[in-house]
Amino acid sequence: MSDHIVRALNVHIVNIPAKAVHSHGSGDVSGINAALLELTTDTGLTGWGEASPWPVFTGTVEAAAAALHTHLAPFILGADPVQVEHIMHRCENALVGHPEAKAALECALLDLAGQIAGFSIAELVGGIHRTEIPMSFSVANPDFDADLDDIARLWDDGVRLFKLKTGFNAHAFDIMRLEKLRALYGDEISLRIDYNQGLAAHDAIRHVRDLESFRPELVEQPVKRHERAALAAITQAVDVPIM
């Protein structure tokens, strides 16, 4: 228990434009919409969390904002912010789904709890395990020459992990990009493939097999999320890990 009470809940919907359009198997992305959750205590502390759902996969920021304002706020306002597990348990029982809204809430509560205890969120949840993580860059510009310029710049900065967004153009375009990157950077480059559910089930095994010679670390979301039988068949038929 603490001497702090959550007195205000505000959700700010923001749009963050991308510098360039990124194409995916599920459509183009020109920016990111986010719902920023702001919790304020009676002692003047502010905790922040973020919900960034993607409409084609998990929902909308408007739905996340409504979940927080309408359904979850009664369990937050007037509560002690250090009682994170208790608050989250009540919210989970009160509303099915909406994982992004709940993640934003948990982060904002942990932010407040950390400020009250004098710890970072990392310290609250078990401590800092590593001081750096590899950065992954998504290769998703329809203008591949522009992507090559970005890759070269990032390569000079030490980035070695690149994820190709595939399936939004012809299969030959995906093959061409993989050939080019292996030719330029050899085995030093780590490649991942992400179809964002863009393949038809009857084409998926053939397409993924065509990419195996380029030694990708994994292939992500080759088919629609509900096509579980197709996903199982692809996983069994190819050597590359399917995510």
* CATH code for the domain of 87: 3.30.390.10
Helix (H, G, I), strand (E, B) or coil at 195: coil
CATH number at residue 173: 3.20.20.120
Strands of the chain (E only): list them: 6-24, 27-41, 46-51, 136-139, 161-165, 190-194, 219-220
Statement to judge: residues 14 and 112 lie in one domain:
yes
pLDDT in tens, 106-165: 999 999 999 999 999 999 988 988 888 889 999 988 899 999 999 999 999 999 999 999
pLDDT band at 169 (very low <50, low <70, confident <90, very high): confident
Statement to judge: residues 26 and 66 lie in one domain:
yes
Contacts of residue 33, defined as CB under 8 A and 6 or more positions apart, other chains included, come to 13, 14, 15, 16, 52, 60, 61
Statement to judge: residues 11 and 110 lie in one domain:
yes
Decide: 41 and 82 in contact? Cβ < 8 Å.
Answer: no
Q: Six-digit token pair at 126?
A: 């078990």
pLDDT in tens, 176-216: 999 999 999 999 999 999 998 989 988 999 999 999 999 99
Given a cut of 90, whether residue 48 has pLDDT beyond it is yes
Q: Please give the angle made by the CA atoms of 206, 212 and 217, to the nearest 5 degrees.
A: 130
Statement to judge: residues 152 and 219 lie in one domain:
yes
pLDDT band at 229 (very low <50, low <70, confident <90, very high): very high
Nearest-angstrom CA–CA distance, 54 and 42? 34
For residue 140, is it within any domain? yes
Statement to judge: residues 110 and 151 lie in one domain:
no
The number of beta carbons lying within 10 Å of the beta carbon of residue 139 is 22
Q: Please give the angle made by the CA atoms of 223, 226 and 57, to the nearest 5 degrees.
A: 75
Q: Give the torsion sign (CA, 125, 127, 132, 134).
A: negative
Given a cut of 90, whether residue 80 has pLDDT beyond it is yes
Statement to judge: residues 147 and 55 lie in one domain:
no
Given a cut of 90, whether residue 28 has pLDDT beyond it is no
Q: Six-digit token pair at 94?
A: 């009160």
Residue that terminates a domain, selected from 69, 99, 124: 124
Statement to judge: residues 74 and 159 lie in one domain:
no
Statement to judge: residues 141 and 110 lie in one domain:
no
Nearest-angstrom CA–CA distance, 166 and 204? 12
Statement to judge: residues 118 and 141 lie in one domain:
no
Nearest-angstrom CA–CA distance, 220 and 195? 6
pLDDT band at 24 (very low <50, low <70, confident <90, very high): low
Nearest-angstrom CA–CA distance, 18 and 33? 11
Q: Which of 134, 7, 131 is nearest to 78 (CA)?
A: 7
What's the chain's average pLDDT? 92
Statement to judge: residues 68 and 113 lie in one domain:
yes
Residue 193 is part of which domain span?
Answer: 136-237
pTM exceeds cut of 0.75: yes
For residue 243, is it within any domain? no
pLDDT band at 23 (very low <50, low <70, confident <90, very high): low
Domain total in the chain: 2
Cα 47 to its chain centre, rounded Å, is 21
- Angstrom CA distances, 74 to 5, 78, 95, 202, 226, stand at 13, 8, 12, 48, 34
